[in-house]
Chain A
Amino acid sequence: MKSESPLLKVSDLTKSFGGVMAVTGISFDLKEGELLGVIGPNGSGKTTLVNLITGFVKPVSGKVLYKGANITGKPPYKIVDLGISRTFQMVKPFYQLPAFKNLIVPLYSPRVKKLAGGKYGARDAVALDLLEEVGFERDARVSYKAASALPQGYLKRLELAKSIALRPDLIILDELFSGLSLAEVAGIVPIIEKLLSQGKTIIMIEHRLKELFRIADRIMVLNYGRKIAEGPAAEVMESDAVKEAYLGSEV
């Protein structure tokens, strides 16, 4: 932990969709280098929270501070420019393009250009390296296949590669593990651990609790758009509110 002030400070964030409260008064802090796991039943507001932080949805009230600066309601491309990148739960590749060409788009962004010091270099080579980093076999044909021909496991990794390509400081992974086999998840966990060792800060929205609890520093539990618990995994799962949210209340 390099600095005392949090990397991300979310305070009292609220969003409603036509009378339905999707997120109600959520506040939390995130320290640099930390991995925060966010769990909760379906429809508890996890993805909306991600959309609020990354600017895809504007909040009704509340604030998001990143590195001390207010980023509430800024458009997504500006938030990415500041160093926050995300993956989508429903993968959004460029289906017509070959897998490695998908990465040319983030590599073409102003942020990457800035960080590369104006040197544009061989983007294709960088793209192929990034694919290898997320587990595409080196020199395999799969990197050159159109994204529309890739199986789900590769699409999820491609989604991860697209967010890593932006050289973010904070990565938000929205249900990266959903739809993957145990073996595939086991293949991705070391990639996430490596990102942490590089000093990246990560928020993971997950339903695969077992894998999440192994790598997360802290867990936040949402239910009906509200934060109902926060703390170390073991502690959180013992709390009555969480048991009730997941198992229902005693009759």
Chain B
Amino acid sequence: MKKRKERIDRGIKARSADIFALSSYREMLYLLAPGAIPVIGLLCFAPLLSAYWKEVVISTAVYALLAISWDMLMGAGLLSLGQSLFFGIGSYIAGTLNYYWGVSPFLTIPIATLVGGALCMVLLLPVLRLRGIYFAMVTLVLPLMFARLVEATRIFGGTEGLTGLTPFPNQMTAFYVIAVALLCALFGFRRIMSSDYGLVIKAINDNDRSVMNAGINIYWYKAQVLFMGASVGCFAGAFVTHLDMFAGMPGFALDYSIMPVAAAVVGGTGTFAGPMLGAFILVPLSEMLRALGALRIVFYGLFLVIFVVGIPEGIFSYIQQKYHQLERWVEVE
């Protein structure tokens, strides 16, 4: 009996992309396995970690959310260097509601997500016409401006911030809140972008004049993308506010702007899974290098350069390509 190699996805690709007419459980496994990895990893394995590493996973998930939010904006051609704007505004909304009116975290977080998203959208509406680096500059400046505004006017606790906020009942609650939110954002955004609506958004990134010429108001679509992306960022900020029991100027810090971009670049943009994977490599890596003291940043920077030079398309895109090229032996008659 002769044998030859055949790509596993061959039979699957030959059928329609939308209709899942699967012939065997193995094909089903081939299609579903990649999606199951983050779900099982986060919900089943991560809770088994020690309290310290669970803390690391929580903070990783926060950065992963910011990175996914960044990727969503990038999908419509909006390059954001100010993810901390969303983070800070979400943080202050949740903090204020809890500090002054004693609202429960389970209400402040959803409110901060929606109201914060809308507020950030309105803030950036006037600059939606800008593209690329011009839009990026505005997003970079806004959070720095807000931090100084809080400092100068001493509103919302000034430099002291709002302290003693209500924490989550326990670590496991916080863990599951952020894990479920991350998975919802990941699969939700992936689904949106694979629909016809997502196609229009990709097209805006590709050629906005051509989309205008197709009778579509691109600013309305960009505003919607901005709302979705900003909401996810605001959620991350509101979550951390209750985790740390503190809302303050550090919410507008540059870390929250730079890290998501680094994660997206390392992981691969435009897939949501890439930026998430990037965050899950970079944040724990930074933790592990803690023992090196001052040299930590040197090694961290070195890793970043190696990733970017070695796999410029991003780790996720690389893995995805290899996965699609997986082969199996089949018999030849």
Q: A residues engaging B (CB < 8 A)?
A: 54, 56, 75-77, 80-81, 85-86, 88, 92-97, 101, 104-106, 108-112, 123, 162-163, 165-166
Contact = CB atoms under 8 A, between A and B. Distances in A.
Contact of A123 (B196, B203, B207, B214): B196
B171 interface: no
A174 B214 CA distance: 16
Interface string B194-212: 0011011011001101111
A76 B213 contact: yes
Contacts of B202: 94, 96-97
Nearest to B18: A124
Given A94-B203, A95-B206, A108 B213 contact: no
A100 to B, nearest CB: 11
Contacts of B217: 75, 77
B295 interface: no
Interface string B203-231: 10011011111111110000000000000
Contacts of B203: 94, 97, 105
Given A80-B213, A86-B213, 15 more contacts: A77-B214, A77-B218, A85-B213, A95-B206, A96-B202, A96-B206, A97-B202, A105-B216, A108-B197, A108-B199, A110-B216, A111-B215, A123-B196, A163-B213, A166-B215
Given A94-B203, A97-B202, A97-B206, A108 B196 contact: yes
A103 to B, nearest CB: 9
A42 to B, nearest CB: 22
B216 A77 contact: yes
B214 A109 contact: yes
B199 A80 contact: no
A110 B216 CA distance: 7
B13 to A, nearest CB: 12
Contact of B209 (A92, A106, A109, A111): A92
Given A97-B199, A104-B199, A108-B197, A92 B210 contact: yes
A66 B127 CA distance: 32
B206 A106 contact: no
A76 B203 CA distance: 16
Given A104-B196, A108-B199, A108-B200, A94 B215 contact: no
Tell me the interface secondary structure of chain B in the complex: helix
Residue in A77, A80, A110, A112 whose Cβ sees the most chain B Cβ within 10 Å: A77
B322 to A, nearest CB: 21
A88 B210 contact: yes
Interface residues on B, range: 10 to 19
Nearest to A55: B212
B207 A75 contact: no
21 contacts: A54-B213, A56-B212, A77-B212, A77-B215, A77-B216, A77-B218, A80-B215, A85-B215, A93-B207, A94-B206, A95-B206, A95-B207, A96-B202, A97-B202, A97-B206, A108-B214, A109-B215, A111-B215, A162-B210, A162-B213, A165-B214
B269 to A, nearest CB: 13
Contacts of A162: 210, 213-214
B71 to A, nearest CB: 16
A162 B212 CA distance: 12
Contacts of B197: 108
B199 A92 contact: no
Nearest to B270: A96
B212 A75 contact: yes
A93 B210 contact: yes
A123 B217 CA distance: 19
A79 B164 CA distance: 56
Contacts of A81: 215
A165 B215 CA distance: 11
Contacts of B209: 56, 88, 92
A219 B218 CA distance: 35
Nearest to B220: A77
B49 to A, nearest CB: 39
Nearest to B17: A124
Contact of A110 (B206, B207, B215): B215
**Considering residues B202, B203, B206, B215, which has the most beta carbons from chain A within 10 angstroms of its beta carbon?**
B215
Contacts of B206: 94-97
A109 B209 CA distance: 14
A81 B216 CA distance: 8
A101 B215 contact: no
A166 B212 CA distance: 12
Nearest to A120: B196
Contact of A92 (B196, B213, B218): B213
